[in-house]
């Protein structure tokens, strides 16, 4: 899945660089942080001066990862990041394919004169790097990272701790191998990681069984009081106001995965989550089957992503965001010629 010529140039870049920065996307998830820390550990063993620079903080449930306490957040520590970037000669962009995905860090990266490598699995990449490893069919950037590490001849550096980082991304981006994971290669990779010695069950527990009491109560509230069906369509959605988020002491990452729950309803194949933040409405979309939530989000919510998983933003009132969704979704479905029936 990762081409030989891409790997050859990647290796040349790494061999000829001393100071390397690894950059995941804003609000990094298990895949972005897993791929970053997996690569970080390998490059350190190759004797490189490496830093993982995240546009902002990352969720607590990833803090157990090897190297996690060395990640530098640009939002929390811009001075340190600028200092690091001064001597950086190679940058890795992981799990994103457009510079707007790194928010405030974009301005710092735009002026960068060194070499860059992108490794990502989102569709529609922008030309942001000298080497672009872009594979929309891959389940996760961590899947690509495993292939990169193996093909570059670095597998010997992939110890148990780093293999657990890589496994985390595959696990979180596929809902524990429940979707977007039908290619046999993924299971060969997982088998390799188990052979290296990962504790698969422990990783699952660390990531998924570490909810705060408030997060569980917020989920209960969202499903019990704030989930709606969009009559006449196979869509359901959840709406959370700023007051509700505050009531349950919302922290970034708390609503991760909420948008998947409406899909568990029989007959529902499109799901949306609306969250009222200070300056904007954050929206997440999921679908099953052919409904392209990335195109829908691009058209109405300034967003994008994958066919079945996308994000977006709305600049206006929460009610107007929800109205836009309720009005435009049926029309968009007609346009796309998508029937009401749940698609397999
Ligand atoms: Mn990903």
Helix (H, G, I), strand (E, B) or coil at 167: helix
Beta-carbon neighbour count of residue 145 at 10 Å? 30
Measured CA to CA in angstroms, residue 253 lies from 27, 44, 315 at distances of 8, 29, 21
Tell me what pLDDT residue 256 has: 87
Phi and psi angles of residue 138, each rounded to the nearest 5 degrees, phi first? -65, 145
Tell me what pLDDT residue 336 has: 86
What topology is assigned to 213-336 in CATH?
Answer: Diaminopimelate Epimerase; Chain A, domain 1 (3.10.310)
79 CA distance to ligand 1 middle (Å): 28
31 CA distance to ligand 1 middle (Å): 5
141 CA distance to ligand 1 middle (Å): 5
Pick from 76, 64, 17, 9: nearest CA to 37 = 64
304 CA distance to ligand 1 middle (Å): 13
3 CA distance to ligand 1 middle (Å): 19
168 CA distance to ligand 1 middle (Å): 11
225 CA distance to ligand 1 middle (Å): 30
> Nearest-5° angle of CA 95, CA 293, CA 133?
25
13 CA distance to ligand 1 middle (Å): 23
The Cα 156–Cα 146 span in angstroms is: 12
Tell me what pLDDT residue 150 has: 98
Residue whose entry in the numeric block shows the structure tokens 């707007």: 100
Mean of pLDDT values over 40-44: 98
Residue whose entry in the numeric block shows the structure tokens 């520590």: 77
Q: 337 pLDDT band (50/70/90 cuts)?
A: confident
The Cα 210–Cα 222 span in angstroms is: 19
Tell me what pLDDT residue 253 has: 80
Pick from 262, 265, 270: nearest CA to 289 = 270
The partner residues of 54 in beta bridges, in order of sequence, read 73
For the stretch 228-257, pLDDT in tens is 999 999 999 999 999 999 999 998 788 988
DSSP-derived secondary structure letter, 31: H
For the stretch 72-123, pLDDT in tens is 999 999 999 999 999 999 999 999 999 999 999 999 999 999 999 999 999 9
Tell me what pLDDT residue 338 has: 64
Alpha-carbon Rg for the chain in angstroms = 20
Whether residue 143 has pLDDT greater than 60: yes
**Helices H / strands E in the chain, number of each:** 12, 12
92 CA distance to ligand 1 middle (Å): 15
286 CA distance to ligand 1 middle (Å): 14
How far from chain centre, in Å, is Cα 336? Answer: 27
Give the pair of three-digit tokens for residue 33: 């942080």
Measured CA to CA in angstroms, residue 109 lies from 51, 55, 223 at distances of 14, 11, 40
With 0-12 / 13-18 / 19 or more C-beta atoms within 10 angstroms meaning exposed / middle / buried, residue 253 is middle
How far from chain centre, in Å, is Cα 339? Answer: 29
Pick from 184, 270, 176, 196: nearest CA to 42 = 196
56 CA distance to ligand 1 middle (Å): 17
121 CA distance to ligand 1 middle (Å): 6
For the stretch 182-224, pLDDT in tens is 999 999 999 999 999 999 999 999 999 989 999 999 999 999 9
Mean of pLDDT values over 9-27: 97
Helix (H, G, I), strand (E, B) or coil at 201: helix
208 CA distance to ligand 1 middle (Å): 17
327 CA distance to ligand 1 middle (Å): 30
Tell me what pLDDT residue 343 has: 47
Q: What average pLDDT does the structure give for the chain?
A: 95
In CATH, the architecture of 4-208 is Alpha-Beta Complex (3.90)
Whether residue 339 has pLDDT greater than 70: no
For the stretch 276-331, pLDDT in tens is 999 999 999 999 999 999 999 999 999 998 899 999 999 999 999 999 999 999 99
> Nearest-5° angle of CA 170, CA 91, CA 49?
95
Q: Is the pTM of this model over 0.75?
A: yes
How many C-alpha atoms does 69 have within 13 Å on its Cβ side?
2
Whether residue 340 has pLDDT greater than 60: no
The Cα 134–Cα 127 span in angstroms is: 10
* Beta pairing class for 131-134 and 115-120: parallel
Helix (H, G, I), strand (E, B) or coil at 66: coil
Pick from 177, 131, 149: nearest CA to 46 = 149
Tell me what pLDDT residue 342 has: 46
| Biggest alpha carbon–alpha carbon distance for the chain | 60
Tell me what pLDDT residue 85 has: 97
| Sequence-separated (6 or more) residues with CB below 8 Å from residue 319 | none
| CATH 3.10.310.30 residue ranges for the chain | 213-336
173 CA distance to ligand 1 middle (Å): 6
95 CA distance to ligand 1 middle (Å): 5
| CATH 3.90.1640.10 residue ranges for the chain | 4-208
142 CA distance to ligand 1 middle (Å): 7
Crossing angle (nearest 10°) for helices 318-336 and 293-300:
130
């Amino acid at each position: 899945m990762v081409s030989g010529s891409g790997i050859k140039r990647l290796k040349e870049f790494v061999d000829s660089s001393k100071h390397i920065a690894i950059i995941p996307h804003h609000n990094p998830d298990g895949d972005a942080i897993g791929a970053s820390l997996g690569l970080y550990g390998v490059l350190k063993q190759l004797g490189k001066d490496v830093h993982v620079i995240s546009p902002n903080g990352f969720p607590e449930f990833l803090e157990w990862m090897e190297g996690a306490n060395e990640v530098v957040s640009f939002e929390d520590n811009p001075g340190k990041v600028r200092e690091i970037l001064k001597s950086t000669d190679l940058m890795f962009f992981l799990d994103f394919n457009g510079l707007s995905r790194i928010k405030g860090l974009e301005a710092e990266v735009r002026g960068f004169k060194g070499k860059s490598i992108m490794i990502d699995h989102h569709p529609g990449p922008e030309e942001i790097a000298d080497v672009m490893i872009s594979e929309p069919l891959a389940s996760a950037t961590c899947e690509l990272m495993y292939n990169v590490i193996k093909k570059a001849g670095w597998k010997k550096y992939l110890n148990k701790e780093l293999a657990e980082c890589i496994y985390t991304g595959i696990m979180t981006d596929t809902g524990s191998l429940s979707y977007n994971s039908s290619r046999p290669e993924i299971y060969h990779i997982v088998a390799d990681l188990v052979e290296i010695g990962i504790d698969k069950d422990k990783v699952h527990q660390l990531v998924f069984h570490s909810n705060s009491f408030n997060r569980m109560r917020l989920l209960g509230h969202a499903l019990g009081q704030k989930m709606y069906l969009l009559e006449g369509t196979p869509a359901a959605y959840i709406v959370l106001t700023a007051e509700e988020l505050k009531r349950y002491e919302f922290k970034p990452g708390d609503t991760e995965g909420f948008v998947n729950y409406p899909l568990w309803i029989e007959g529902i194949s499109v799901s949306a989550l609306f969250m009222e933040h200070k300056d904007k409405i954050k929206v997440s979309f999921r679908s099953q089957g052919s409904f392209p939530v990335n195109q829908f989000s691009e058209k109405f919510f300034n967003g994008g992503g994958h066919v079945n998983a996308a994000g977006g933003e709305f600049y206006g009132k929460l009610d107007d965001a929800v109205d836009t969704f309720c009005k435009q979704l049926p029309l968009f479905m007609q346009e796309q010629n998508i029937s009401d029936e749940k698609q397999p």
